Amino acid sequence: MSRCGGWFRQMHLAAFWAEFKGFVEVDQVTGCWNWRGRYSERGYGVFRGRLAFKVAWFAVGREKDFGLSLHHSCFNKRCVNPDHLVEIPGSEHMKIHAEHWRAVRRSTG
Protein backbone atom coordinates (compact mmCIF):
# COMPACT_ATOMS: atom_id res chain seq x y z
CA MET A 1 0.00 0.00 0.00
CA SER A 2 2.91 2.35 -0.48
CA ARG A 3 2.13 3.57 -3.95
CA CYS A 4 3.13 7.04 -5.09
CA GLY A 5 -0.46 8.18 -5.10
CA GLY A 6 -0.81 7.35 -1.44
CA TRP A 7 2.30 9.29 -0.58
CA PHE A 8 1.02 12.22 -2.55
CA ARG A 9 -2.41 12.36 -0.94
CA GLN A 10 -0.75 13.04 2.39
CA MET A 11 0.21 16.50 1.21
CA HIS A 12 -2.08 19.47 0.87
CA LEU A 13 -2.68 20.12 -2.79
CA ALA A 14 -2.34 23.91 -2.74
CA ALA A 15 0.83 23.81 -0.69
CA PHE A 16 2.20 21.14 -2.98
CA TRP A 17 1.60 23.10 -6.19
CA ALA A 18 3.06 26.27 -4.67
CA GLU A 19 6.25 24.41 -3.85
CA PHE A 20 6.33 22.35 -7.04
CA LYS A 21 5.74 25.31 -9.37
CA GLY A 22 8.66 27.06 -7.70
CA PHE A 23 10.90 24.57 -9.51
CA VAL A 24 9.16 24.91 -12.85
CA GLU A 25 9.93 27.21 -15.73
CA VAL A 26 7.24 27.16 -18.41
CA ASP A 27 8.44 27.18 -22.01
CA GLN A 28 6.00 29.51 -23.77
CA VAL A 29 6.69 27.92 -27.16
CA THR A 30 6.42 24.22 -26.38
CA GLY A 31 4.33 24.41 -23.20
CA CYS A 32 6.92 22.29 -21.42
CA TRP A 33 7.39 22.69 -17.68
CA ASN A 34 11.15 22.60 -17.49
CA TRP A 35 12.44 21.45 -14.13
CA ARG A 36 14.90 23.73 -12.36
CA GLY A 37 15.45 21.65 -9.24
CA ARG A 38 17.57 18.57 -8.70
CA TYR A 39 18.00 15.88 -11.34
CA SER A 40 18.36 12.13 -11.18
CA GLU A 41 21.35 10.34 -12.71
CA ARG A 42 19.24 9.64 -15.77
CA GLY A 43 18.41 13.32 -16.24
CA TYR A 44 14.88 13.43 -14.83
CA GLY A 45 13.72 16.09 -12.38
CA VAL A 46 13.57 15.03 -8.74
CA PHE A 47 11.09 16.44 -6.23
CA ARG A 48 11.49 15.38 -2.58
CA GLY A 49 13.35 12.25 -3.61
CA ARG A 50 10.79 11.22 -6.24
CA LEU A 51 10.65 11.63 -9.99
CA ALA A 52 9.03 15.02 -10.49
CA PHE A 53 7.04 14.13 -13.62
CA LYS A 54 5.50 11.15 -11.84
CA VAL A 55 4.63 13.34 -8.86
CA ALA A 56 2.90 15.77 -11.23
CA TRP A 57 1.01 12.88 -12.86
CA PHE A 58 -0.49 11.86 -9.53
CA ALA A 59 -1.00 15.47 -8.45
CA VAL A 60 -3.52 16.02 -11.26
CA GLY A 61 -5.44 12.97 -10.04
CA ARG A 62 -4.25 10.36 -12.50
CA GLU A 63 -3.59 6.75 -11.67
CA LYS A 64 -0.85 4.56 -13.05
CA ASP A 65 -1.07 0.88 -13.91
CA PHE A 66 1.90 -1.31 -13.14
CA GLY A 67 3.32 -2.56 -16.40
CA LEU A 68 2.62 0.69 -18.19
CA SER A 69 5.22 3.42 -18.41
CA LEU A 70 4.93 7.17 -18.70
CA HIS A 71 6.22 8.66 -21.93
CA HIS A 72 7.02 12.31 -22.62
CA SER A 73 5.14 13.09 -25.82
CA CYS A 74 7.37 16.20 -26.11
CA PHE A 75 10.57 14.08 -25.87
CA ASN A 76 11.88 16.52 -23.29
CA LYS A 77 12.86 14.57 -20.20
CA ARG A 78 13.32 17.75 -18.15
CA CYS A 79 9.60 18.42 -18.68
CA VAL A 80 7.18 17.73 -15.80
CA ASN A 81 3.96 18.90 -17.48
CA PRO A 82 1.39 16.14 -16.86
CA ASP A 83 -0.36 17.08 -20.12
CA HIS A 84 2.79 16.07 -21.99
CA LEU A 85 2.77 12.59 -20.50
CA VAL A 86 1.06 9.54 -21.96
CA GLU A 87 0.71 6.10 -20.44
CA ILE A 88 1.85 3.32 -22.78
CA PRO A 89 3.06 -0.30 -22.55
CA GLY A 90 6.80 -0.64 -21.91
CA SER A 91 7.46 -2.49 -25.16
CA GLU A 92 5.77 0.23 -27.19
CA HIS A 93 7.71 2.86 -25.25
CA MET A 94 11.06 1.38 -26.27
CA LYS A 95 9.91 1.27 -29.88
CA ILE A 96 8.86 4.94 -29.83
CA HIS A 97 12.25 6.01 -28.51
CA ALA A 98 14.17 3.85 -30.96
CA GLU A 99 12.22 5.44 -33.82
CA HIS A 100 12.72 8.90 -32.37
CA TRP A 101 16.49 8.49 -32.20
CA ARG A 102 16.59 7.13 -35.73
CA ALA A 103 14.73 10.26 -36.89
CA VAL A 104 17.08 12.54 -34.94
CA ARG A 105 20.13 10.86 -36.43
CA ARG A 106 18.68 11.16 -39.93
CA SER A 107 18.03 14.90 -39.53
CA THR A 108 21.49 15.63 -38.15
CA GLY A 109 23.22 13.44 -40.72
| Positions in the binding site for Zn ion (CB under 5 A) | 32, 71, 74, 76, 79, 81, 84
23 exposure class (CB count in 10 Å sphere: 0-12, 13-18, 19+): middle
Q: How far is the CB of 82 from Zn ion (least distance, A)?
A: 10
Name the minimum Å distance from CB 12 to Zn ion: 26
The Cβ of residue 85 has, within 10 Å, a number of other Cβ atoms equal to 21
Which residue, 9 or 30, is less far from Zn ion as judged by CB?
A: 30
Distance CA 53, CA 51 (A): 6
> Closest approach of Cβ 1 to Zn ion, in Å?
28
Which is nearer to Zn ion, 15 or 29 (by Cβ)? 29
**Closer to Zn ion at the Cβ: 12 or 105?**
105
Terminal-residue alpha carbon distance, the chain? 49
Strand partners, 71: 86
